[in-house]
Amino acid sequence: MRGAALTEPVLRDDLAGLRGRNAVTRLVLTDFRCYERLRLTVDGRPVVLTGPNGAGKTNLLEALSLLAPGRGLRRARLDEIDRGGAAGPGNCWAVAATLDTADGPTEVGTAHEPAGDGAAEAGRGRRAVRIDGSAVRGQAPLAALATVAWLTPEMDRLFLEASSDRRRFLDRLVYGHQPGHATRIGAYEQAMRERNRLLRDRLGNRLGDDVWLDALEQRMAEESVAIAAARNEVVARLNGAMALAEGPFPRAGLTLDGLVEGWLAEGPALAAEERLRDALRAARSEDAAAGRTGAGPHRTDLAVRHLEKGRAAGECSTGEQKALLISIVLADARLVAMQSGATPILLLDEVVAHLDGRRRAALFDELCALGAQAWLTGTDRALFSGLEGRAQFFAVADAELRSEAA
Ligand SMILES: Nc1ncnc2c1ncn2[C@@H]1O[C@H](COP(=O)(O)OP(=O)(O)O)[C@@H](O)[C@H]1O
Ligand SMILES: [Mg+2]
């Protein structure tokens, strides 16, 4: 079972039998970006997709990224993904997959379901999720089935841009350790939205004694402590794994810069919960005026250092930043594999072309040793020759895939 307590000892003998079980074995896309219909069957080994620009490689990885909670690797709006976009035939996209999980094969479906009749509203809609044929509430249950981690060219700027991207990157990794993390973040955000709405509605009234606000802030404080504790734990484990890492990828030092995360490092969870509850209560007028909640785990940032260079990731070269990201994703995959036996599904979009030969070979060896189903893309098939015989190769052109002999 996934989601075992983090403190549970890892039994090495248990691992061998479970390894590499987290994989997509069947994928069907319908009206998904450039794909009118795509059916693909693969096994648990790495998958290499090569083809010219615009062939449909990233779109396919995006479809796989929607097997995890959230908005996928492009953070696109639901109607942007519909084939043809707003000007297209108006069909809503769907992704169906068979996932090989530690508990056996599971059928997963996710699709854009339009909301209401209004054309403007239809663009929004909701992302429906079905697991083994049954509709589930929200997307959080996906986190319990498989972990999907990705690196895309857009993430080359991860260390330079807003903290929200780094926080999401970390939270996605945390899902693999604690699948309940996605549900908690959803519950926290929902309570925060309601608090913001209440504060807006009651602006100018007495905000001090309001049982609804009390209840929402209590809920937020409870969820915050669980969210922050999970992040702290995963960051500590990643740092531990980094200390043991060998090979050509740089070791990364991770630090969380967050209010509740800091409080938890100093004292007991209950004290942190009370502190946040009191802080939220004290900030009601200020937050009402600002129209948002100023403090909480939705503001946490992840700081990364290049340990050998002794420099913040944001001050490293683009290539070094990329290598740091790969290093973190690989360390996390090793940890999750040791813990649950099911390595994350890794989506590595245009990653290989930026690596020198030594790092490329090390990456391929590591992916194969982990038994991870990594999906790798590139324009140049020759760069993947190190995976010959160990991966499945497909040529992508004009939204069609052709299997190629490895
Ligand atoms: N909603 C959409 N409907 C149809 N085609 C789309 C949609 N969104 C993007 N595309 C097209 O899909 C094609 C493939 O994109 P992509 O997967 O990013 O290519 P690449 O193989 O370079 O990664 C592009 O030509 C793009 O214009
Ligand atoms: Mg691409």
- 84-133 confidence digits (pLDDT tens): 987 778 899 999 999 998 778 999 999 999 876 655 554 568 999 999 99
- Give the per-residue pLDDT at 20: 47
Q: Which fold has domain 180-315?
A: Glutathione S-transferase Yfyf (Class Pi); Chain A, domain 2 (1.20.1050)
User: What percent of the chain shows pLDDT beyond 90?
Assistant: 80
Per-residue pLDDT band for 16 (boundaries 50, 70, 90) equals: very low
pTM: 0.91
Q: Which atom of ligand 1 is nearest to the CA of 55?
A: 21
**166-197 confidence digits (pLDDT tens):** 999 999 999 989 989 999 999 999 999 999 99
Per-residue pLDDT band for 10 (boundaries 50, 70, 90) equals: very low
Give the residue, out of 31, 34, 49, 74, with the most ligand 1 atoms within 8 A of its beta carbon, to mutate for a pocket test. Answer: 34
Tokens of 220: 């937020």
State which residues have CB under 5 angstroms from ligand 2, the bound ion: 57-58
Tokens of 325: 């990201």
Mean pLDDT, range 381-400, rounded to an integer = 97
Q: Over the chain, what is the mean pLDDT? A: 90
- Give the per-residue pLDDT at 51: 98
Using CB distances shorter than 6 Å, the residues near ligand 1 are: 33-34, 51, 53-59, 80-85, 88
Residue type, 399: A
Task: Tell which residue, 336, 256, 245, has the closest CA to residue 304.
Answer: 256
Q: What is the dihedral of CA 342, 47, 159, 291, to 10 degrees?
A: -70
Per-residue pLDDT band for 21 (boundaries 50, 70, 90) equals: low
Per-residue pLDDT band for 406 (boundaries 50, 70, 90) equals: low
Is the pLDDT score of 9 beyond 50?
A: no
Q: Which CATH class is domain 1-159+318-406?
A: alpha beta
- Give the per-residue pLDDT at 179: 84
Specify the residue with its C-alpha closest to ligand 1, atom 8: 33
Question: Where in the chain is CATH 1.20.1050.90?
Answer: 180-315
- Give the per-residue pLDDT at 364: 97
**323-362 confidence digits (pLDDT tens):** 999 999 999 999 988 887 788 999 999 999 989 999 999 9
Mean pLDDT, range 18-34, rounded to an integer = 85
User: Look-up: residue for tokens 């040791």?
Assistant: 338
Q: Which atom of ligand 1 is nearest to the CA of 56?
A: 17
Q: Which atom of ligand 1 is nearest to the CA of 62?
A: 17
- Rounded Cα–Cα distance for residues 240 and 366 (Å): 18
Residue type, 56: G
- Contact (CB, 8 A) for 360 and 335: no
CA of 23 to the centre of ligand 1 (A): 24
- Give the per-residue pLDDT at 6: 37
Specify the residue with its C-alpha closest to ligand 1, atom 5: 34
Question: Where in the chain is CATH 3.40.50.300?
Answer: 1-159+318-406
- Rounded Cα–Cα distance for residues 334 and 339 (Å): 9
- Rounded Cα–Cα distance for residues 295 and 97 (Å): 39
- Contact (CB, 8 A) for 22 and 374: no
Residue type, 21: R
CA of 153 to the centre of ligand 2 (A): 8
Q: What is the dihedral of CA 81, 137, 179, 219, to 10 degrees?
A: 110
Under DSSP, is residue 310 helix (H, G, I), strand (E, B) or coil? Answer: coil
- Give the per-residue pLDDT at 62: 98
- Rounded Cα–Cα distance for residues 78 and 90 (Å): 12
Q: What is the dihedral of CA 98, 347, 324, 146, to 10 degrees?
A: -10
Task: Tell which residue, 154, 179, 194, 174, has the closest CA to residue 332.
Answer: 174
CA of 169 to the centre of ligand 2 (A): 19
- Rounded Cα–Cα distance for residues 255 and 252 (Å): 10
- Give the per-residue pLDDT at 183: 94
CB atoms within 10 A of CB 310: 8
Under DSSP, is residue 165 helix (H, G, I), strand (E, B) or coil? Answer: helix
**189-243 confidence digits (pLDDT tens):** 999 999 999 999 887 677 767 899 999 999 999 999 999 999 999 999 999 999 8
